[in-house]
Chains A and B, each alone.
Chain A
């Protein structure tokens, strides 16, 4: 008997739900806008011209496909599975964030919007948004937590060079979640001309879906590249998770390949036993924030607690709703890495491969360093190296007790 297995790639449902997660929890003022966005996205998906323009910009502006690199020296050092790095840090602007920004600004142009806003944590999404806004000639305002501005000075300067206005957010924990609150406040105030480019696979439907779709270029390429290099699918995919856009981008095209295991790596900061971490799956409960139901770090009263990670890009108390669902059904295994483990992995990649990774994928690498030695030499691991570390050298120097200039 042939029993058809339902695809794990079909979500979300018509109301934007992935199982018990997702949805559209926004103020009524924004509802007509996100319904408009949904209609515009459905129309864009059906338009070959939209895909052609996206693909053209991916190739000639972003520099895709990004290489699938066999990390021979790292593999030898760890002694176990063969490790491949998906080199999304080589993209224009230095991270995977640009994939999504290209897709969203093309949507904004289709919808006739004339002003762009975005939130940013590490600044990578802010830089990518400022980049596409400059390329398409739209004014751009980036909201960034005041604390993140302090620890990501190079990216703040990049955004300004690109013509964006960077607004410091002083409320709450002064990090990514507060920047997102402030971007939502801007959007609700400027509903007629403004397009909000959300940086991760979270927020109200259809954002988690469209961000995933734009980022799935990573997994689609990776699938073809590993088949080309090894003649078979990988055994394990590994990616870091803040909101989870680089991870869902890598994982999604493989979700129906039962032989491919997947590990998402949350940031456990000073450790899961402390209250200083950003692991919303390991340490959170279901709740509603920023337009979606997902796993959130919160106290027993439902007040959102502050996340901590050495990586500003992972310093968020929630996670994209599709990850919350993949966690609930057990398709993806979620682990975590501490600040210290990420710092070790950061230095390991510098020294073994001559690649300075961002602190975000350094968390993924910490998990690879744990897992790879336990696997046989013929096993294949693909890790998403989703960002480069130039922006993090001040943070790393600080953590290593080195004074620059």
Chain B
């Protein structure tokens, strides 16, 4: 099987545009709705989907995603349910890359080898483990590699020139640039800072650069899409899910779809507008 991430990044590059990566917590607000949300993300222009693995103590996440984790866990989501949800999605869509994002302890509890085997069987493409820096990654990498899964590495504003080689050593899939020092849903970085950072990273790696943290609006997404290979939007989508869930709305996937469609349009138009301007 070809590498879905490489194929998708190549296709977007051929289109002359950045990819839109959307994040939602799997099982938020419940598994059935979440499965419909997953389809709405893709139907409305998400190029890559990041699915959060719910955890009780998401210490790198801001309020929005913390609440998403709580909604998911309260409705009883388990890692095996998440994998089943992806396997079901794969029966309809074998092209859209889906990666997991979360914390190490639920993976450790599931069993590292079992996690890698089951994730691959479900049709996942890789994982981001927020609290597993390169210094500790050797524990998980062999199992992921054996099953053809990417461990997506993160670079941040604190990743200086001395540290970057450590982050890139063994990185695959793409490089996730955390645009601001902070938790998810924090304030946005300026487009200039992001452009500088992307240029700096591109001098050191051929991996596609995805930029996330603090990207909420179509305008913000478009500004980043001019230079980055991908733009990640998470908290804004999770906030939409949370607000809709709070009013017990039955059209949560449609509301998410509307938001994502706006982001996708902006990301697709970003470089054309830049050229026109």
Known contacts A33-B158, A191-B181; A185 and B104 CB within 8 A of each other: no
Contacts of B169-186 to chain A: CB distance below 8 A: 178, 181-183, 186
**Residue from the list A32, A288, A300 in contact with B131, Cβ < 8 A:** A288
**Interface assignment of A79: CB less than 8 Å from any CB of chain B:** no
Separation of A229 and B71 alpha carbons in the complex (Å) = 59
Residues of A within 8 A of B181 (CB): 29, 188-192
Residue of A whose beta carbon sits closest to that of B73: A303
Q: Tell me the minimal C-beta distance from A157 to chain B in angstroms.
A: 28
Contacting pair A28 B178 (CB below 8 A): yes
Q: Is B132 an interface position by the 8 A CB rule? A: yes
B165 interface residue per 8 A CB criterion: no
B108 touches A302 (CB 8 A): yes
Residues of A within 8 A of B62 (CB): 185
- Name the interface residues of A16-66: CB closer than 8 Å to any CB of B: 23-33, 35
Q: Are A185 and B110 in contact (CB under 8 A)?
A: no
Main SS class of interface, B:
loop
- Distance in Å from the Cβ of A121 to the closest Cβ of chain B? 15
Chain A CB within 8 A of B9 CB: no
Looking at the complex, which of B52-60, B92-100, B200-208, B252-260 is the stretch in contact with chain A?
B52-60
Contacting pair A28 B133 (CB below 8 A): yes
Known contacts A28-B133, A32-B163, A291-B131: A304-B105 contact under CB 8 Å: yes
A25 touches B136 (CB 8 A): yes
**Contact residues in A for B159 (Cβ distance below 8 Å):** 28, 32
* Beta-carbon contact of A302 and B109 below 8 Å: yes
Asked if A185 meets B135 with Cβ closer than 8 Å, knowing A25-B104, A300-B109, A302-B105, the reply is no
* Residues 58-112 of B contacting A (Cβ, < 8 Å): 58-60, 62, 66, 73, 78-79, 103-110
Interface flags for A157-198 (1: CB within 8 Å of B; 0: not) read: 000000000000001100001101100110011111000000
Kindly list chain B residues whose C-beta atoms are within 8 Å of the C-beta of A301. Answer: 78-79, 106, 109-110
B133:A185 contact, CB within 8 angstroms: no
Does A25 contact B186, Cβ atoms closer than 8 Å?
no
- Give the contacting residue for A25; candidates B106, B132, B183; CB below 8 A: B132
Judged by a CB distance under 8 angstroms, whether B33 is at the interface is no
Q: Which parts of A252-306 form the interface with B (CB within 8 Å)?
A: 285-291, 296, 298, 300-304
Contact of A303 among B56, B104, B132, B160 (CB under 8 A): B56
Q: What is the bound-complex CA distance between A227 and B163, given in angstroms?
A: 49
B59/A181 in contact, CB under 8 A: yes
Query: A298 and B156: CB pair below 8 A?
Result: no
Q: How long is the Cα–Cα vector from A287 to B112 in the complex, in angstroms?
A: 12
Q: Which residue of A lies closest to B61 (CB)?
A: A185
Closest CB-CB distance, B194 to chain A, in whole Å? 16
Is the Cβ of B158 less than 8 Å from the Cβ of A26? Answer: no
A79–B108 Cα distance when bound, in Å, is: 48
**A288-B105 in contact (CB<8A):** yes
Chain B residue with minimal CB distance to A31? B133
Complex interface residues of chain B between 255 and 269 (CB less than 8 A to chain A) = none
Considering only CB atoms and an 8 Å cut-off, how many residues of chain A contact the other chain?
40
Q: How many residues of B contact A (CB 8 A)?
A: 40
Across the interface, name the chain A residue whose C-beta is closest to B167.
A28
- Kindly state whether residue B157 has any CB partner on chain A within 8 Å: yes
Q: How far, in angstroms, from A209 to B268 measured CA to CA in the complex?
A: 51
In the assembled complex, which residues on chain A have CB atoms less than 8 Å from the CB atom of B195? none
Which applies to chain A's interface (DSSP): helix, strand, loop or mixed? Answer: mixed
The residues of B that contact A33 with a CB separation of less than 8 Å are 158
B122 contacts partner chain A, Cβ-Cβ < 8 Å: no
State which of B79, B156, B182 has its C-beta within 8 Å of the C-beta of A28.
Answer: B156
Most buried by A among B59, B108, B157, B186: B59
* Chain A proximity of B69: nearest CB distance (Å): 10
A189 and B186 contact, CB distance less than 8 A: yes
> Is B130 at the interface (CB under 8 A from chain A)?
yes
Residue in chain A with minimal CB distance to B154: A28
- Partner of B135 from the list A15, A172, A285, A288 (CB cut-off 8 Å) is A15
- CB of A24 within 8 A of CB of B106, answer no
Contact assessment for A302 and B106 in the assembled complex, using a CB-CB cutoff below 8 Å: yes
Q: In the complex, how many angstroms separate the beta carbon of A376 from the nearest chain B beta carbon?
A: 45
A300 and B109 CA atoms in complex are apart in Å by 7
B131: chain A residues within 8 A (beta carbon): 25-27, 288, 291
B155 within 8 A of A: yes
Cα of A302 to Cα of B256 in the assembled complex, Å: 29
Is B57 a contact partner of A289 (Cβ separation < 8 A)? yes
Closest chain-A Cβ to B92's Cβ sits at a distance in Å of 27
Bound: A314/B217 CA distance, A: 44
Shortest C-beta distance, B115 to chain A (Å), equals 11
**Which partner residue on chain B sits nearest A192 by CB separation?**
B181
Known A-B contacts A15-B135, A188-B183, A287-B109; the reply to A27 vs B57 at CB < 8 A is: no
Residues A27 and B130 in contact, CB atoms below 8 Å apart? yes
Interface residues of A in 179-227 (CB under 8 A from B): 180-181, 184-185, 188-192
A180 to B59, CA, bound (A): 9
**When the two chains form their complex, are residues A25 and B59 in contact, meaning their CB atoms are under 8 A apart?**
no
Query: How many angstroms from the CA of A177 to the CA of B154 in the assembled complex?
Result: 25
Partner pick for A296 among B105, B135, B154, B157, CB 8 A cutoff: B105
Contact for A181 among B57, B73, B153, B178, CB less than 8 A: B57
Task: Return 11 A-B CB contacts under 8 Å, by A number.
Answer: A15-B135, A26-B133, A28-B178, A30-B158, A33-B158, A184-B60, A287-B105, A288-B131, A302-B107, A302-B110, A303-B55
Which A residues contact B (CB, under 8 angstroms)? Answer: 15, 23-33, 35, 171-172, 177-178, 180-181, 184-185, 188-192, 285-291, 296, 298, 300-304
In the complex, given contacts A27-B131, A178-B57, A190-B181, what are 6 additional A-B residue pairs having Cβ atoms less than 8 angstroms apart?
Answer: A23-B136, A26-B131, A189-B183, A189-B186, A302-B110, A303-B106
